[in-house]
Structure 1
Amino acid sequence: MDKGYFNLVDFRANGVPYQLFVRNADTLLHILREELGLMSVKPGCENGDCGSCTVLMDNVPVNACHMLAVEADSHHITTIEGLEDTKLQEAFIANHALQCGYCTPGFILNAHALLSHHPDADEQKINEWLESNICRCTGYQEIKEAIQTVQKELEGNG
């Protein structure tokens, strides 16, 4: 293998350390799905518009289709597999905030970051954060209600 076209990338995905040789042009989307088998990271538009490939990099939402795998070096990547059994996932189910489920991991990761950075986000802030994800099956009202449900639970525990 000619190492000139490859870079060694050292990062964590869902808490697990990885060292991989990646091509210079490999996207994070490709590496997460094809090399690590994290199939919740979905290809959609593959130009950064739909949010189906949303992952968290150091708890900040990014489009994995727009990010080169080499940019993940020394970072922590979280996919939906890294957020098992959270209140947010339960709220999405309870509020019927999903239908086909294709976009759901991206929405949940984005909402998780929103609540981490802005636990008291008002409706306008929630709407702004949801603009980066597209759902073609359901309305956004149920998704907003799921987020607001978790906000209320957090307020009650705070």
Structure 2
Amino acid sequence: MSDETFRLLVNGAEVTVECDRDTPLLFALRNRLGLKGTRFGCGLGLCGACNVLVDGRLIHSCDTPLWSVDGKEVVTVEGLGDTPLQRAMIDEQAAQCGYCVSGVVMTATALLARNSAPDEAEVRAALDDNLCRCGAHNRMVRAVVKASQVEATR
């Protein structure tokens, strides 16, 4: 297998990555671009730890081949900046071990982009595919609801 060159817009910056075409996006982000916020969890797209946005759509980066995102916009947790959601996650102490948090934040960001005022049931449904082993899930739900209320008052 030989490396190919892929061009992406990652967190607002144009980058090139040389990898085998079937390299998972997660590995390119972490190992080639040094973006360690996106985590490897299960490697099967089942836990949500690796969630990122590609052209505004939430995807699992662990099972997304690099060729499929060539020329696209990728946003990782590092690219979000300081948001009401991240502040609410801190205020609600929604990160215990922190391993799943970047994936949860990306999932919640995608939810809030399509529904700026989700109720608790909608937040729970959106976060259902994010595995949190620490038991901080209820605090995460509260944080997302709180962030949506902060955004509504802006």
Q: Per the shorter chain, which TM-score range? A: over 0.9
Distance (whole Å) between structure 1 residues aligned to residue 11 and residue 136 of structure 2: 29
Task: Classify the secondary structure of the residue corresponding to 1:56.
Answer: strand
**Percent identical:** 32
Runs of 4+ aligned residues of structure 1 deviating over 4 Å after TM superposition are none
Unaligned runs of 5+ in 2: none
- Select the residue among 22, 47, 57 that pairs with 1:50: 47
Q: Which amino acid aligns with 2:13?
A: V
Task: Classify the secondary structure of the residue corresponding to 2:41.
Answer: coil
Q: 8 Å contact 1:98–1:138 — kept in the other structure?
A: no
Q: 8 Å contact 1:97–1:138 — kept in the other structure?
A: no
Q: CA deviation at 1:139?
A: 3.2
- Select the residue among 80, 88, 108 that pairs with 1:83: 80
**TM norm structure 2:** 0.94
Q: CA deviation at 1:155?
A: 1.8
Q: Choose 1 or 2 for highest CA Rg.
A: 1
Task: Classify the secondary structure of the residue corresponding to 1:96.
Answer: coil
* Alignment root-mean-square deviation, CA: 1.3
Residue deviations 1:17-73 (CA, integer Å, cap 9, x gap): 012222022000110010000011111111111111111112221100010011111
- Select the residue among 114, 119, 124 that pairs with 1:122: 119
Number of residues paired by the alignment? 154
The correspondence of residues 139-150 of structure 1 with structure 2, limited to 5 A, is 139-150=136-147
1:24 paired residue number: 21
Unaligned runs of 5+ in 1: none
Q: 8 Å contact 2:96–2:136 — kept in the other structure?
A: no
Distance (whole Å) between structure 2 residues aligned to residue 123 and residue 89 of structure 1: 17
